[in-house]
Amino acid sequence: MKKRRRLFCEISPFTYKISLLKCRMMRHIYNLLSPKKFAKTKSNELLPVLVYSHKSLIRRKLGNVNADLQDNKAVNLSIAAPKVSNILIKPGEYFSFWSLVGSCTAKKGYKEGLTISNGQLGKDIGGGMCQFTNLIHWMVLHTPMQISEYHHHDKMDLFPDFGRQIPFGVGTSIMYNHLDYCFKNTTENVFQLIVYTTPEYLCGELRADKALPYKYHIKAKDEYFSKEQGVVYRNNCIYRECFDKLTGKLLTRELLKKCHSEVMYDTSKLSIKELS
């Protein structure tokens, strides 16, 4: 088999940094020249309609991950949350996570937290921001707004479930600033995002100026573990269902994604289907 040629960014840590700077610069230029109107206006006055709310545990059991990285993540989230909270997303506007949060540096008070890159665990200043966009993504899925940029690292199932509240495969992956999380307000409503931290949770609310005529349910189906050629995979399908609030009638059922992810932890206690 012919050996794959290494990319420039894979040659050394130095070439990786050069590639990273190039990607960041290109993203800055793209945002500067883009005709998209990014949400920038904030309001301390809450919009009247609560569309959806959610909270996620900040310190979770993640295999053998150092507990200090979880504590540092709590600090990082507490710094970033006010930069996003109270933002108004008006009709036609785009929400961009990194446009609001900016770079996560030690000078700004960010600490070293857990990161995931190419399926590998690591640590870096500002680590843990994926939990922030996970929360936002989950709330946005319960609205008719359009997700315009979304990345994920679900080719691998890195940790066993611990108090899971949302289906596997709905997570996000971000990296300043070229891997962003963005969505567009394609409705006639004004939306408002509220985010804050408590000692235990990252909390969020998505509010609107008017009630929505629809409600949304996100469901995982066909969930199972399989063994294929000696490798264990986690499988499921994520669906979004839209219901008419007035009649309760199911209007649409949309397949959001299909997951087939290699399990990276002890599988001895899992119920596994043997597939040839």
Measured CA distances, 172 to 79, 97, 128, 180, 221 (Å): 20, 12, 11, 10, 20
Predicted local confidence at residue 2, as pLDDT: 58
Residue 95 forms beta bridges with which residues?
183
* Number of other CB atoms surrounding residue 149 within 10 Å: 16
Predicted local confidence at residue 272, as pLDDT: 94
Predicted local confidence at residue 32, as pLDDT: 87
Predicted local confidence at residue 19, as pLDDT: 86
Predicted local confidence at residue 162, as pLDDT: 80
Helices and strands, number each (H, E), in the chain: 4, 14
Q: Hey, what are 229's tokens? A: 């050629």
Predicted local confidence at residue 9, as pLDDT: 67
What is the residue extent of each domain of the chain? Answer: 36-211
How far is the C-alpha of 173 from the C-alpha of 135, rounded, in Å?
12
Closest CA to 125 of 107, 139, 145, 110: 110
* Number of other CB atoms surrounding residue 169 within 10 Å: 21
Per-residue pLDDT of the chain (276 residues; tens, 9 = 90+): 556 677 766 677 778 788 888 888 999 898 889 999 999 999 999 999 999 999 999 988 766 678 889 999 999 999 999 999 999 999 999 999 999 999 999 999 999 998 887 667 888 999 999 999 999 999 999 999 999 999 988 789 988 888 788 999 999 999 998 999 999 999 999 999 999 999 999 999 999 999 999 999 999 999 999 999 999 999 999 999 999 999 999 999 999 999 999 998 999 999 999 986
Q: Hey, what are 107's tokens? A: 């000078």
How far is the C-alpha of 43 from the C-alpha of 46, rounded, in Å?
7
Predicted local confidence at residue 168, as pLDDT: 93
Q: Are strands 49-57 and 201-208 parallel, antiparallel or unpaired?
A: antiparallel
